[in-house]
Every structure is written in C-alpha cells, then in structure tokens.
C-alpha cells in the first residue's frame, strides 16, 4: 500500500506538478487529489476545473435528474478531456439507468456515497469504469473490496456532510491495513502537509470537499462563501436533526432551531419543508413517502426525521444555490476554520503539490 511518490515528469510537467501513487495510476490523473461529490456544489464547472488542473473532479449527480446528469457529464467532456467521476446514490430508484448512462458516456470513475450492490459494481467493472465508494468504517471497506471495488474514499469524523465518530487519524490506518486496494483519505485535508501525512499512513491520495467548495470555480454564491470564511475550527456541529443521521454542518441560527425544536415543532417544520420540496421537485407525495421509507430502512428515525431526510436537498439548495445562508443547511468539515482564501482549482492543486514537495524535503533522512 506504500505509494510511489516519485514526481511525474515524463509528460514534461515540472517537478512538483504531479505525484505517482496507486490511485493516480488507476485513474489516470497527475495528482492524488480528489474533489468530492458535494450536492448542488460539484457540478460540471467545478469538476471540470479540478480535472483540468490534474486532480479528479467528481460531478455530484445525486441531486440531479437523469437528464441533468447527462447534460453535466457532456459539459465536463466539452471543458476537458481529463478523467473525471460521477457520484450517484446506489439506492436511487433509477440507479441502474444512471450506471448505464455513465458507461455510455465514458465516465472514468463511478463514486457512491452508500455501498453499491455487488451487481452494480460488476456492471461498471465489466465496462472498464473504476468503482470508488465512500465509506466510514473498516467493515464497509472490507465488504466493497470483496465485491470488487477498485478503490475507496475513507472519511473520518472531521469531514463535512454525513460523517462518523472515528477521526481520520484512527480510521485511515485501520482501513489501509484491512484492504488491498487504493485508499483515499478524506476528512480534515486542505494542504500539502495533509497530503504527505495521508501518504505516510499508506493512503494513495486525499479527497477534499470544503476546500474545493471554497474556490473561485465553485458555484456557491459569494455571500455564502463569506459565511464559510468567517467560521473557526469550532464552528461546526454534528447533528441528526437534518436527516436523522449524523451530519456535520456549519453552526447557524437554523441549525440551533432544529436542535432545540420539540417533537411537534420539528414535525411541523419538516412537513412544511417537505411541501416546499414537493413543489420544486415535482415529486408526488407518494414518491416522497417511498423516498422516506427507503431512508428509514434500517434506521431508528422518527417520521419527522424521515420527512427531513426526504427533503434535505431543499435545505442544501437554499444555501448552495439560492444563496440563503439563513434558510439553508451548509455542510462543512472542521477544516473550514483553516481556510481563508478562494483560489482557483488550478491554483489550489498547484499549491498543494508544492507544499507536499516542501513537506517531504523537511522530513529527516
């Protein structure tokens, strides 16, 4: 699992512009850096900018219709010929259609927030698509590796969005020791020092969400970005009041109200949000109830939480698309408190790789 950190210079790139690891060899990118699939943030623009800069951009298609997903894929291909990935929900009703679309469009990497079935993995691998699920526990990594996954993204508790209780520094080596496929570390990464630290644990690269959200290529509005930039390392909270499972988000008045609301108030708010999401999405109440039942499966959720889970996209869209930080939920990793600028993806990746070279040079020989 030890990566080859030889700088990639065979293509004429300057030393420091790239780094060979098991992940870069698997996917065909220059730099062992992944931009995660953030709903309503990681569209064609951000994914293409990341991939063109040498990393792996991932289109977050879970919040897109099938038609929107197809347009996004084609838009990335128009902007760059570099490899990129697409993230979908493995439990979506149209997951198989989305997999067929990825195969037809020649997408290099299929990313999943929930473990895909062995059958879906097999379909993708037979078509030459790299399968890279995100996991939060050793046993999940072992399961998908046994099913044929090519790589895994391992997110520790520092990470934003849905997250677990185990920090990256504990979870990462645990998973690296358990599987024999490339492991990408996520949760708490934003610079070259972190990349070197992850490599020292045996990872083959790092994945970053909050750091890529806070770039000039990110579609998030300036006002919302300013909210992020004003936060410190203690200004996130893990709450189950968004969709019933642990979710790391920025602290805000809305999150405080969700946390303090009683059962009746919470249910009323969830119902109102569900009605708003129904109007915007065009889904029927029956479809939303099916979604809620699927999210409730295997979890001890109240029906208020089920409704919140079903319309979580509404809360994300309010902030990420509509620019309403006061009305939306803003997923964020703790690393937000260490970020104070908005570089382009190209500037960010170049900086991270240079910092990694400098960090390696400082290590005792």
Per-residue pLDDT of 37-63, as tens digits, reads 999 999 999 999 999 999 999 999 998
Coil, strand or helix: which one is 130?
strand
Render 266-323 in DSSP notation, one character per residue. Answer: HHHHHHHHHHHHHHHH---HHHHHHHHHHHHTTS---HHHHHHHHTHHHHHHHHHTT-
More confident residue, 96 or 285: 96
Domain for residue 5, yes or no?
Answer: no
Tell whether 355 and 272 lie within a shared domain. Answer: no
Strands 183-186 and 161-162: unpaired
pLDDT in tens, 313-341: 777 888 999 898 988 899 999 999 999 99
Mean pLDDT of 288-317: 63
- The residues that bridge with 237 in the sheet, in sequence order, are 249
Tell whether 250 and 309 lie within a shared domain. Answer: yes
pLDDT at 2: 45
What does the alpha-carbon distance between residue 92 and residue 69 come to, in Å, rounded to a whole number? 14
Tell whether 60 and 203 lie within a shared domain. Answer: yes
pLDDT in tens, 197-228: 999 999 999 999 999 999 999 999 999 999 99
Mean pLDDT of 338-354: 98
Share of the chain above pLDDT 90, in %: 71
pLDDT, mean over the chain: 88
Neighbour count for residue 272 (Cβ, 10 Å):
12
pLDDT in tens, 17-44: 689 999 999 999 999 999 999 999 999 9
Tell whether 195 and 247 lie within a shared domain. Answer: no
Coil, strand or helix: which one is 250?
strand
Confidence of residue 16 (pLDDT cuts 50, 70, 90): very low
| Beta carbons of 351 and 192 less than 8 angstroms apart | yes
What does the alpha-carbon distance between residue 76 and residue 173 come to, in Å, rounded to a whole number? 34
Tell whether 278 and 326 lie within a shared domain. Answer: yes
Tell whether 86 and 40 lie within a shared domain. Answer: yes
Tell whether 62 and 117 lie within a shared domain. Answer: yes
Domain for residue 4, yes or no?
Answer: no
Q: What is the CATH number of the domain that holds 114?
A: 3.20.20.70
Tell whether 74 and 158 lie within a shared domain. Answer: yes
Tell whether 354 and 327 lie within a shared domain. Answer: no
Domain for residue 347, yes or no?
Answer: yes
Tell whether 26 and 89 lie within a shared domain. Answer: yes
The domain tally of the chain equals 2
The answer to whether residue 7 scores a pLDDT higher than 70 is no
Mean pLDDT of 245-273: 77
Tell whether 286 and 353 lie within a shared domain. Answer: no
Tell whether 325 and 343 lie within a shared domain. Answer: no
Domain for residue 225, yes or no?
Answer: no
The answer to whether residue 289 scores a pLDDT higher than 80 is no
What does the alpha-carbon distance between residue 305 and residue 364 come to, in Å, rounded to a whole number? 51
What does the alpha-carbon distance between residue 341 and residue 351 come to, in Å, rounded to a whole number? 12
Domain for residue 208, yes or no?
Answer: yes
| Beta carbons of 205 and 223 less than 8 angstroms apart | no
Confidence of residue 82 (pLDDT cuts 50, 70, 90): very high
The answer to whether residue 76 scores a pLDDT higher than 50 is yes
Which range marks the domain in which residue 32 is found?
22-220+339-362
Domain for residue 312, yes or no?
Answer: yes
Domain for residue 16, yes or no?
Answer: no
The answer to whether residue 8 scores a pLDDT higher than 60 is no
What does the alpha-carbon distance between residue 350 and residue 143 come to, in Å, rounded to a whole number? 35
pLDDT in tens, 133-192: 999 999 999 999 999 999 999 999 999 998 999 999 999 999 999 999 999 999 999 999
Confidence of residue 290 (pLDDT cuts 50, 70, 90): low
The answer to whether residue 12 scores a pLDDT higher than 60 is no
pLDDT at 11: 35
Domain for residue 159, yes or no?
Answer: yes
């Amino acid at each position: 699992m030890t990566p080859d950190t030889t700088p990639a210079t065979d293509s004429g790139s300057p030393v420091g512009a790239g780094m060979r690891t098991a992940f870069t060899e698997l996917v065909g990118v220059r730099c062992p850096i992944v931009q995660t699939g953030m709903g309503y943030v990681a569209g064609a623009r951000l994914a293409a900018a990341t991939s063109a800069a040498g990393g792996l951009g991932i289109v977050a298609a879970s919040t897109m219709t099938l038609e929107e997903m197809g347009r996004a894929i084609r838009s990335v291909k128009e902007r760059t010929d570099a490899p990129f990935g697409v993230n979908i929900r493995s439990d979506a009703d149209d997951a198989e259609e989305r997999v067929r679309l990825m195969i037809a469009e020649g997408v290099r990497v299929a990313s999943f927030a929930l473990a895909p079935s062995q059958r879906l993995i097999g379909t993708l691998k037979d078509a030459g698509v790299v399968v890279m699920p995100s996991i939060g526990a050793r046993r999940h990594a072992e399961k998908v590796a046994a099913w044929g996954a090519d790589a895994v993204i391992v997110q520790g508790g520092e990470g934003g969005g849905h997250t677990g209780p185990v920090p990256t520094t504990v979870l990462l080596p645990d998973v690296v020791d358990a599987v024999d496929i490339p492991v990408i570390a996520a949760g708490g990464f934003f610079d070259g020092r972190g990349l070197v630290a992850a490599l020292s644990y045996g990872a083959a690269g790092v994945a970053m969400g909050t750091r890529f959200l806070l770039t000039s290529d990110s579609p998030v509005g300036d006002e919302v970005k300013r909210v992020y930039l004003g936060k410190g390392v203690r200004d996130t909270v893990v709450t189950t009041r968004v969709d019933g499972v642990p979710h790391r988000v920025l602290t805000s008045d809305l999150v405080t109200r969700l946390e303090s609301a009683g059962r009746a108030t919470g249910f009323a708010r969830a119902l109102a949000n569900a009605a708003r999401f129904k109007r915007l999405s065009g889904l029927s109440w029956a479809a939303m109830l099916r979604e809620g039942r699927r999210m409730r499966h295997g979890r001890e959720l109240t029906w208020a939480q089920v409704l919140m889970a079903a319309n979580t996209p509404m809360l994300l869209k309010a902030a990420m698309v509509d620019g309403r930080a006061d009305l939306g939920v803003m997923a964020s990793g703790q690393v937000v408190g260490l970020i104070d600028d908005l570089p382009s993806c190209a500037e960010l990746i170049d900086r991270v790789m240079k910092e990694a070279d400098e960090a390696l040079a400082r290590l005792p020989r």
